[in-house]
Amino acid sequence: MGDQLKHAVNWLTEPTRYFLGFGLAIVLVLYFRKFFAKSIVIIAFFVLGGAFLAFAWKDPNFAKIIGKPDNVPIVILLATVVFFSWLSLRKSVINDERIARGDPTLEGDFNRQKVFTWPDLVYTEFICLILFTAALVIWSIVLEAPLEEPAATARTPNPSKAPWYFLGLQELLVYFDPWIAGVLLPSFIIVGLCAIPYVDTNPKGNGYYTFNERKFAISFFWVGFVLFWVSFVILGTFLRGPNWSFFGPFEYWDLHKLEPMVSVDLSTYFWVNLLGQPRPDNILLREAPGFAFLGGFFLLLPPLLAKTVCRSMFQQIGMVRYQIMMHMLLWFGLIPLKMLLRWTVGLKYIVGIPEWFFNI
Amino acid sequence: MKKLLDATYKSQLWKSVFRHGYPDTPRNRTLAVLSNVFLHLHPVKVRRSGIQLSYTWCMGGLTFFLFLIETITGLLLMFYYRPTAELAYQDIMALREHVPIGIMRELHRWSAHMMVITVWLHMYRVFLTGSYKPPREFNWNVGVILLVITLLLSFTGYLLPWDQLAVWAITVGTNMARATPFLGHEGPGAALISFGGLDFVHAGDDVRFGLLAGRFVGEGALLRFYVLHCVGFPLVAATLMAVHFWRVRKDGGISGPL
Ligand code: HEM
């Protein structure tokens, strides 16, 4: 029974299933939010999660990965993100019902009254602070900060991992070259975050939790933050071992595990497989299919969507905001697109010009 | 007892410091906030929803608190740590072995990890409550920069123990800079910036070199990261936090339905 569970978990956490499963879970939670907002759901999650942890801890491979002092924060991250996502969902569901009935929101109800900063706020802050300090001190006494062998630039550890909060980006290196995963996308995340208040013109949902009034915005952030950031950090920390190969949580980190990786460029697919001729020597001609594909993706898709699915949004926010938003979204859309293409047809690069370090 | 307290509140010493009695009347409660430079970060009265834990999750406040812990423990660590390739690791080792019940390094490290988490959750909360909407657009942007600074603080600190974990994590992280378009020697477009067959952007002068003061993570990088970690980024962070808090108040306090 125990072994079967371990096998099942190892099987489930394989990156393709992990990503699709996580994504599916988010869709289901948001869609059936009335159900998932129930208290019993979060209680069940933590009880089952705790039971699983207690069970899994006996496994030496599991304990070795999860129990690394520097990995403790990731467990906290997972627990807090799940809890607060649930909490916000619960409040949203309640507020949406209240709004539908024409009642004030939870927050609005509270706000009829203003309270003194001293003592109400100051005491809350003070209690928070004491509890938090106590927790940190206990944590610090129980777990010693790690210190490995002295630095040696000649000996590369395997795996070499960036600090945990960047592991989501390191995970993207599986699908993209560093200039995209490490430079372009992070920059776009920052720029995109800054642009949010200027692009989102929906006046509703300011200062209270709601889902119905901001369906797109909330779903977008859940997907962006929970799926593409947090879940990737967890994947990168717990499930990537030597050579950045995948290892299930109950698997031994074998240095020699090699994953067969046959991946092919789009240009090869086009010229060799489709047209049955060798790839042309001229770089631009060779990569023309890739450029055409990206051109269509970035230039045709926005107007096409504006006319169809995103019509009302386009009318609401106007041309400039729409273009900015779409181009940001399309860059991030490249991530799942490329993941899917890699998993299904083993695509390496859409445009692959290693001669110029220009691979997409 | 009552007498003693009364006498205290009336004494010159108490009055010289606080200028009001114990804050149990509206007047004194107002004065408690107004006449204290730290409490004065807050308005005198707040919306009830704004102080509800289940609304703000207290994450902004905790982030700030963690920043303070980092400042204090970091200061103590600086007494014992010398940022050179020769001494850095030894100093950390010594800290570990010679300081009884030494938990400063632990506090510093775990708080740093927590700060990254709380700042993410704070952003999540601000987004989910739509608190970036007018009039708070600008403060959201200040927040985004604070988020980046928080990560950079943590990242620069990661190198300082000068062990294998530190050096290689920073190596992996900064390797990305090599691939910066035009500015990194392995980035697209870098080869275009050449003159008469001479490359302008190469491993010895690209952005990564500038970041690390060398071609790999060495002593130059250690000093650079140390200075940024202990002086540069904290100053920027503290300044921006002041702006951030100021704006929270100027934008009408913690958000809530009108
Ligand atoms: C070092 C990092 C940060 C610190 C210390 C900090 C601190 C705070 C504090 C204490 C508040 C008061 C309300 C609360 O506790 O939730 C606040 C509000 C706010 N923060 Fe931050 N914050 C930081 C980073 C950020 C980030 C990353 C963002 C967004 C990207 C952000 C955006 C905001 C906004 C828009 C408000 C106003 C929210 C409202 O009125 O409900 N902050 N911040």
Domain of B164 in residue numbering reads as 58-250
Cross-chain Cβ contact A111/B105 below 8 Å: no
Judge whether B66 and B150 are in contact, CB under 8 Å.
Answer: no
Q: Which residues of chain B have pLDDT under 50?
A: none
Q: Are residues B72 and B39 in the same domain?
A: no
Average pLDDT over residues A217-235: 94
Task: State the ipTM, two decimals.
Answer: 0.93
- The Cα A249–Cα A246 span in angstroms is 10
Supply the pLDDT for residue B193: 73
Share of chain A above pLDDT 70, in %: 99
Lowest-confidence range among A89-98, A116-125, B195-204, B205-214?
A: B195-204
In this structure, the answer to whether residues B129 and B182 fall within a common structural domain is yes
Q: Does one domain contain both B129 and B179?
A: yes
In a domain, B118, yes or no: yes
Mean pLDDT of all residues in A319-325: 91
**A-chain residues near B203 (CB < 8 A):** none
Break chain A into its structural domains and give their ranges: 2-105+208-244, 117-145, 266-359
Model pLDDT, residue A106: 85
At residue A111, φ and ψ (nearest 5 deg) are -75, -5
Report the pLDDT value the prediction gives residue A135, as an integer from 0 to 100: 93
What rounded mean pLDDT belongs to chain A? Answer: 89
Within 8 A of A106 by CB-CB distance, chain B residues are 49
pTM of the model: 0.92
Percent of chain A at pLDDT exceeding 90: 44
Contact B148 A190 (CB under 8 A): yes
One domain, residues B26 and B146: no
Tokens encoding A303 = 């107007």
Residue B140 in contact with ligand 1 by CB distance below 6 A: yes
Give, using CA atoms, the residue closest to atom 17 of ligand 1: B60
Here the CATH number for the domain that contains residue B121 is: 1.20.810.10
Say what the pLDDT of residue A359 is.
Answer: 85
Residues B28 and B121 in one domain: no
Please tell me whether residues B75 and B141 are part of one structural domain. yes
Measured distance CA(A114)–CA(A109) in Å, rounded: 11
B39: in domain:
yes
Residue B56 CB less than 6 A away from ligand 1: yes
Is B256 a domain residue? Answer: no
Q: Are residues B146 and B18 in the same domain?
A: no
Q: Quick check: CB of B236 below 6 Å from ligand 1?
A: no
For ligand 1, whether the C-beta of B132 sits within 6 Å is yes
DSSP A300-356: IHHHHHHHTTTHHHHHHHHHHHHHHHHHHHHHHHHHHHHHHHHHHH-B--SSEEGGG
Q: Do B110 and B17 belong to one domain? A: no
Question: Per the structure, how many domains does chain B have?
Answer: 2
Residue nearest to ligand 1 atom 12, measured at CA? B60
The reported pLDDT for the residue numbered B258 is: 64
Joined tokens for residue A142: 């129980």
pLDDT digits (tens, 9 = 90+) for A287-299: 888 898 999 899 9
C-beta of residue B84 within 8 angstroms of C-beta of residue B226? no
Residue B51 covered by a domain: no
Claim to verify: residue B5 and residue B109 sit in the same structural domain? no
For residue B50, what pLDDT is reported? 67
> Cis omega before residue B135 (within 30°)?
yes
- Specify whether B217 is located in the same domain as B115: yes
Average pLDDT value for residue range A38-42: 95
A57 CB contacts (<8 Å, ≥6 apart)? A63, A66, A67
Contact of B136 with chain A, judged by CB distance below 8 Å, is answered with yes
Domain match, B114 and B31 both: no
Taking residues A169-179, what's their average pLDDT? 89
A110-124, A316-330, B180-194, B222-236 — most confident range: B222-236
Which 274-293 residues of chain A touch chain B by CB within 8 A?
none
Residue B112: which of B102, B123, B104 has the closest Cα?
B104
- Spell out where A101-211 has E strands: 114-116
- Looking at the structure, tell me whether residues B234 and B200 fall in a common domain: yes
